[in-house]
Amino acid sequence: MVERDVVKHSAHIEEQHMIGFGALARLLRPVRLHLIGCALLSALGAAAGLAPYIAVAEIARHVLVAASAADAAREVWMWVGIGAAGAALRLVLVFLSSRLGHYADAETLHDIRKRLVRHLGVVPLGWFRATGSGAIKKAMTTDLEVMHQLIAHALGEMIGAVVAMTVGFAYLAIIDWRMTLITAAVLAVMATSFRIAMRSITTHMARLQAAEERISAAGVEYADGITVVKTFGTGGRILQRFAEAVRDHTEAMSAWVSETRYSSAVSRLFSSEMSVLAVVMAAGLGFVAKDQLAVADLLPFLIVGIGLPTSITPAIHGSQGLRQGRMAASHIEQLLSLQALSEAEQPQKPRDHRIEFDRVSFSYDGKTNALSDISAVCEPGTVTAIVGPSGAGKTTIASLLPRFYDVTDGAIRIGGIDIRSIPTPELLKLMSLVFQDVVLLRDTVRENIRIGRPDATDEEVRRAAVAAQIHHVIEQLPNGYDTVLGAGTGGLSGGERQRLTIARAILSGAPIVILDEATASLDPDSEAAVQDALAELATGKTVIVIAHRLHTIRNADQILVLNDGRLTEHGTHEELLAHKGLYARMWKAQQQGESV
C-alpha cells in the first residue's frame, strides 16, 4: 500500500513538474522584461568576472615569451588594466543584476499575493471548510519562498554560471583546442555522474515527502491529543506511527544514498579543483614533453581551466531552483484556477427577509445526497429550529444559506429572490452567523467585535457587548477592550468566547440570524448566559436555530425534523410531541437522560 502511494505521489510530482513549465512562465510574464534585463546583466557580469583570471594568465604568458623587459612591461600593464576594469565592471553589473532581480521578485510576489487573496475571496467558503488552511499556507509561505529564491537568486546565478563556462572554454579553445577538450571531458564526467546520481530524484523525493508528511501528522496528532494521551496513557500507538514514519524516512534516505554513492563520489571527485589540476597538469606536461604545447600556453589551463568547476555548482543549484520553482508555480496556479463562486449577471435585491427552501437537494461528492427534496418557509420575525440525529443534514442547511456551497437541485430564496441572484457581499450582509466553533482573530477584543461592522464606533461596540452579556467580563481583562486575543484567547472561557461572537453578530444588525448549535458544548451557567444573549440577538429577526438540546428550542415558532437528509416532520413542539414520531422519541430520550 505504501509503495503504491509513493508511486502515485511520484507520478503526481512529475506531472506537476511538467505542468509547471507553463505555470511558471505565466506567473513571470508581468516581469519578463525585468528578468531579461537581469539575465543580460548577469551574463555580462559573469563574462567580466573572468577578465582578472584571463589577465593573470596572459600576463604570465607574455612574461615568459616577451623579447624584452620593456615589451613585457607594456603587455603586463595592459592586462592589469583589463583585469582591474573587468573586476570593477563585474561588481557594478552584479549589483545592478541583483537589484533588478530583487525588484522583479518583489513585484512578482506582490502580484501573486494580491491575486491569491482576491481569488480566494470569491472561492466558495465550503472549499476552505473542506480543505483547511494547509494549501493556502503552503502557497503563501513555502511556495513564495521558493519563487523568491528562483527569481532573486537562482536564475541570475544559473545564467552567470553558463556564460562563465562558455567564455572560459572559448578563451581556452583559442589557446589550444586539445587541452580544452581534455578540460571539458573532466567536467563532462562530473556532469554525467551528477545526472546519474539524480536520475531517480522524483521517486526518492516522493517517498521522502510522504514520510515527512506522516512524521508531521503524527507529531501534530500527539501534540493536539496530549491531554488524552497523558490521561489514558495511550501515546504508544501515536508514538508507534511516528516511529514508523521516521523509519520509512530513514530507509528512503538510505536507499537514495546507497543508489547514488558511486555516482555522487565520482561527481564530487571531478568537481574538485585538485582533480582538474591533476588531469590538466598531467596532460599538459605530456604535450610539453613532446614539444606539442608551449609551457606558456599551459598556464591559462592551470589558471582559468581549474576554476571552471566552481561555475557548475551555481548552475546545478539554479537548475534545482528552477525545478522547485516550476512545482511551486504549479501549486499556486492550482489555487488561482479554483472555480469562483458564480455571480448573477443581473443581480437582484430581496424585498424582505422571508426564507424559502424550494425542493432543495445537495450532494458533497456528486453521488450521495446529504439533503433531498427539502421544502420549508421561514417567516420574518419567527424562529425556526432544525433538529435531527447526527448526520441528518442540519449543518448542511446552515452552510447552504450563506452560499458556503450551492444547492445541487432546487432553490433557496430570500424575499422571493434566489440567493444565487444576490451579490455575495450583499447576501452575507443579510446574515449573522454564530457557530459552535468560535473563531477569534489575533487582535484586540474591540476589533474582534467590530468585525461585525467595521465602521462602528467604540460606544456601539460597547453596547453590543452589553447586549451579549460579555461587557463585564471584558472590563476585567488586563487591558479591557484593548486586550489582544492570542492563541490562549486572552483567558476567556468557552461560553465567554461564544458571547463575544454573539456581540459581533448583534453589532452587525443583520436581519437574518443563523445559529448552528451555538450552546451545544457549554456548561449550564454559560448556556443560560448565551441563551439570554441570543434572545437579544434574535429580536425581530428571521432566525434559524440548529439545535442539539431540544429544551432550548421548545418555544420555536416551527421545528423542522431532519432524518437522513430528508424533512420527516415539522410543526410546533406540542404538535410534534402529539405526533409521536422521531421528535417525540428524541425528546423523551433527552428528558430521561437529564433526569438521570
Instruction: Give the H/E segment covering residue 403.
Output: none
Mean pLDDT of 306-323: 76
Residue 141 domain-assigned (yes or no): yes
Does one domain contain both 28 and 102?
A: yes
Residue 350 domain-assigned (yes or no): no
The pLDDT of residue 53: 87
Mean pLDDT of 128-150: 76
Does one domain contain both 192 and 162?
A: no
Mean pLDDT of 50-70: 78
Measured CA distances, 3 to 12, 27, 230 (Å): 14, 34, 34
Mean pLDDT of 32-43: 90
Cell of 360: 432543495
Residue 7 domain-assigned (yes or no): no
Tell me which range, 39-48, 326-335, 336-345, 527-536, is most confidently predicted by mean pLDDT.
39-48
Phi-psi category of residue 137: left, alpha or beta, with phi > 0 → left and psi -120 to 50 → alpha: alpha
Residue 568: closest CA among 368, 388, 370? 388
Residue 393: closest CA among 411, 374, 373, 371? 371
Backbone dihedral angles phi then psi of residue 337, each to the nearest 5 degrees: -95, 0
Does one domain contain both 557 and 484?
A: yes
Mean pLDDT of 124-149: 75
Whether 138 has a pLDDT exceeding 50, the answer reads yes
Does one domain contain both 227 and 157?
A: no
Cβ-count burial 132-153 (b if 16+ within 10 Å, e if not): eeebeeebbeebbebbbbbbbb
Cα 119 → chain centroid: 14
Cell of 500: 463575544
Does one domain contain both 159 and 183?
A: no
- Answer yes or no: are the C-beta atoms of 404 and 126 closer than 8 Å: yes
More confident residue, 198 or 441: 441
Give the C-alpha separation, 297 to 289, whole Å.
13
Lowest mean pLDDT among 1-5, 36-40, 471-475, 503-507: 1-5
The pLDDT of residue 526: 59
Does one domain contain both 146 and 208?
A: no
Residue 577 domain-assigned (yes or no): yes
Does one domain contain both 540 and 462?
A: yes
CB atoms within 10 A of CB 172: 24
The pLDDT of residue 409: 93
Does one domain contain both 160 and 26?
A: yes
More confident residue, 73 or 510: 510
**pLDDT tens track for 361-415:** 998 877 888 999 999 999 988 889 999 888 888 888 888 998 888 899 999 999 9
Question: What is the share, in percent, of the chain residues with pLDDT greater than 90?
Answer: 15
The pLDDT of residue 258: 78
Tell me which range, 9-18, 65-74, 89-98, 345-354, is most confidently predicted by mean pLDDT.
89-98
Residue 301 domain-assigned (yes or no): no
Instruction: Give the H/E segment covering residue 213.
Output: helix 201-224
Give the C-alpha separation, 76 to 63, whole Å.
8
Measured CA distances, 206 to 177, 255, 369, 404 (Å): 44, 13, 36, 34
Whether 6 has a pLDDT exceeding 50, the answer reads no
Does one domain contain both 101 and 192?
A: no
The pLDDT of residue 314: 76
Confidence of residue 9 (pLDDT cuts 50, 70, 90): very low
Does one domain contain both 449 and 417?
A: yes
Q: Among 306, 339, 372, where does a domain finish?
A: 339
More confident residue, 558 or 229: 558
**pLDDT tens track for 531-563:** 666 676 677 788 888 888 888 788 888 999 999
Give the C-alpha separation, 399 to 155, whole Å.
46
**pLDDT tens track for 444-497:** 899 989 987 888 899 999 988 888 888 888 898 888 899 888 655 456 877 788
Q: What single-letter DSSP state applies at residue 392?
A: S
Q: What single-letter DSSP state applies at residue 415?
A: T
The pLDDT of residue 358: 94
The pLDDT of residue 563: 92
Give the C-alpha separation, 539 to 546, whole Å.
17
Residue 213 domain-assigned (yes or no): yes
Does one domain contain both 159 and 283?
A: no
Whether 228 has a pLDDT exceeding 70, the answer reads no
Give the C-alpha separation, 395 to 132, whole Å.
17
- Answer yes or no: are the C-beta atoms of 476 and 423 closer than 8 Å: no
Cell of 213: 508528511
Does one domain contain both 97 and 220?
A: no
Cell of 335: 489555487
Range of the domain at 65: 13-174+315-339
Question: What is the share, in percent, of the chain residues with pLDDT greater than 70?
Answer: 82
Give the C-alpha separation, 523 to 519, whole Å.
8
Give the C-alpha separation, 360 to 362, whole Å.
7
Q: What single-letter DSSP state applies at residue 482?
A: G
Q: Which residues, including other chains, have CB under 8 Å from residue 306's CB and lie 6 or more apart?
A: 273, 276, 277, 280
The pLDDT of residue 361: 94
pTM: 0.66
Confidence of residue 428 (pLDDT cuts 50, 70, 90): confident
Any idea how long the chain is? 596
CATH for 528: 3.40.50.300
The pLDDT of residue 490: 57
Quote the mean pLDDT of the chain.
81
**pLDDT tens track for 113-125:** 999 888 887 787 7
- Total domains in the fold of the chain: 3
Confidence of residue 14 (pLDDT cuts 50, 70, 90): very low
Residue 8 domain-assigned (yes or no): no
Long-range contacts of 87-91 (CB under 8 A, 24+ apart): 87/48, 87/49, 87/51, 87/52, 89/44, 89/45, 89/48, 89/51, 90/45, 90/46, 90/48, 90/49, 90/51
Residue 2 domain-assigned (yes or no): no
